Amino acid sequence: MNVKVEKALNQQVHAEFFSFYLYLSVAAYFAANHLDGFAHWMRVQAQEEFNHAMKLFDFLNERGGTVELLPIDAPAREWPGPSAAVEAVLNHERAISGRINSLVDLATAENDHATTVMLHWYVNEQVEEEATADTLFHQVKMVESSPYGLLMIDRELAGRPAAAAPSPAE
């Protein structure tokens, strides 16, 4: 496996595991503030992020690369309010999209076609991740001064189904 691509993929595994930590931290924040629907939604999203990390982990192994697990910094655990917590998630997803785009650029420049093709799944996934976080952020901002509106969103988020584990064929 190309050494530059291998290093960059390991850094992305690290970023995806940090995403897992961030979503868990936001879930804990919402649980502590008795917004259990928000907490549930964030926990489901954390599991998705874990699955994203494992997909890269498995890809590195399949390609004969070496997985290097890096230390994970603690994410923030407090926010001034629900909209700030969701905005942190939105900003993080935007940063992850930038990282994925840079990975695609690197894989393309290094003529690593297998990695380029695999990363297209992440490009598409990030479009969905950003759109979902953006919608949630704007909805929370709209009802920020209305506890009833916040509780309505909380109830809706409680119904999010659990994340499915990725199949080995993905």
User: Does residue 46 belong to any structural domain of this protein?
Assistant: yes
Domain for residue 11, yes or no?
A: yes
Per-residue pLDDT at 160: 86
**What's the confidence (pLDDT) of residue 148?**
94
Low-confidence ranges of the chain (pLDDT < 70): 165-170
Is residue 20 a part of any domain in this protein?
Answer: yes
The torsion angles phi and psi of 145, rounded to 5 degrees, stand at -95, 10
Tell me, yes or no, whether 54 lies in a domain: yes
Domain with residue 141: its CATH number is 1.20.1260.10
Q: In total, how many domains does the chain have?
A: 1
pLDDT at 168: 56
Residue 126, token pair as written in the block: 């990030």
Alpha-carbon 85 to chain mean position: 14
Q: Residue 168 falls within a domain, yes or no? A: no
Structural domain includes residue 164: no
Whether the CB-CB separation of 35 and 150 falls below 8 Å is answered with yes
Give the pLDDT of residue 61.
Answer: 97
Domain that holds residue 42: 3-67+77-157
Is there a domain that residue 169 lies in?
Answer: no
Which helix (H) or strand (E) segment is 152 a member of? helix 147-157
- What does R_g of the chain's alpha carbons equal in angstroms? 17
Task: Specify whether the CB–CB gap between 47 and 100 falls below 8 A.
Answer: no
Distance CA 23, CA 50 (A): 10
**pLDDT digits over 12-22, tens only?**
999 999 999 99
Task: Convert 71-135 into a string of H (helix), E (strand) and C (coil).
Answer: CCCCCCCCCCCHHHHHHHHHHHHHHHHHHHHHHHHHHHHCCCHHHHHHHHHHHHHHHHHHHHHHH
Instruction: Assess if residue 165 is contained within a domain.
Output: no
